[in-house]
């Protein structure tokens, strides 16, 4: 068998094994995601979005946690947006001066 055919066959085997490993890994991820969605959908209700977090062992929602995440996101964008634009403008000007 010539070197070309041996290399081509080796490449075919390696490629097939790579695709098989990727499909195997993705199938597990899809099964985990399916179980997560199926089991998580049972716990969703309007109360989750409209009630505050209760003490342990009680029924309630996640309103204060979602509000806190939204507030932190707004503050982060308000601070990081202008700071990032100023830093980018400064770096572009420094690059233009040096060239």
pTM score > 0.75 for this model? no
Predicted local confidence at residue 15, as pLDDT: 98
Q: Write out pLDDT tens, residues 82-93.
A: 999 999 999 999
Residues 39, 52: one domain?
A: no
Q: Write out pLDDT tens, residues 17-59.
A: 999 999 999 999 999 999 999 998 988 888 888 888 888 888 8
Contacts with 52 (C-beta within 8 Å, 6 or more apart), sequence order: 60, 61, 63, 64
Residues 73, 91: one domain?
A: yes
Of the pLDDT bands very low, low, confident and very high (cuts 50, 70, 90), residue 94 is very high
Q: Which domain holds residue 52?
A: 46-99
Residues 31, 56: one domain?
A: no
Contact 50, 59 (CB under 8 A): no
Predicted local confidence at residue 48, as pLDDT: 85
């Amino acid at each position: 068998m010539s070197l070309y055919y041996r290399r081509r066959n080796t490449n075919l085997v390696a490629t097939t094994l790579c695709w098989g490993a990727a499909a195997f890994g993705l199938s597990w991820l899809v099964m985990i995601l399916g179980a997560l969605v199926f089991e998580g959908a049972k716990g969703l209700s309007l109360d989750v979005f409209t009630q505050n977090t209760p003490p342990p062992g009680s029924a309630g929602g996640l309103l204060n946690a979602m509000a806190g995440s939204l507030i932190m996101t707004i503050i982060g964008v308000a601070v990081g947006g202008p700071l990032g634009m100023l830093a980018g403008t400064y770096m572009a000007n420094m690059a233009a001066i040096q060239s």
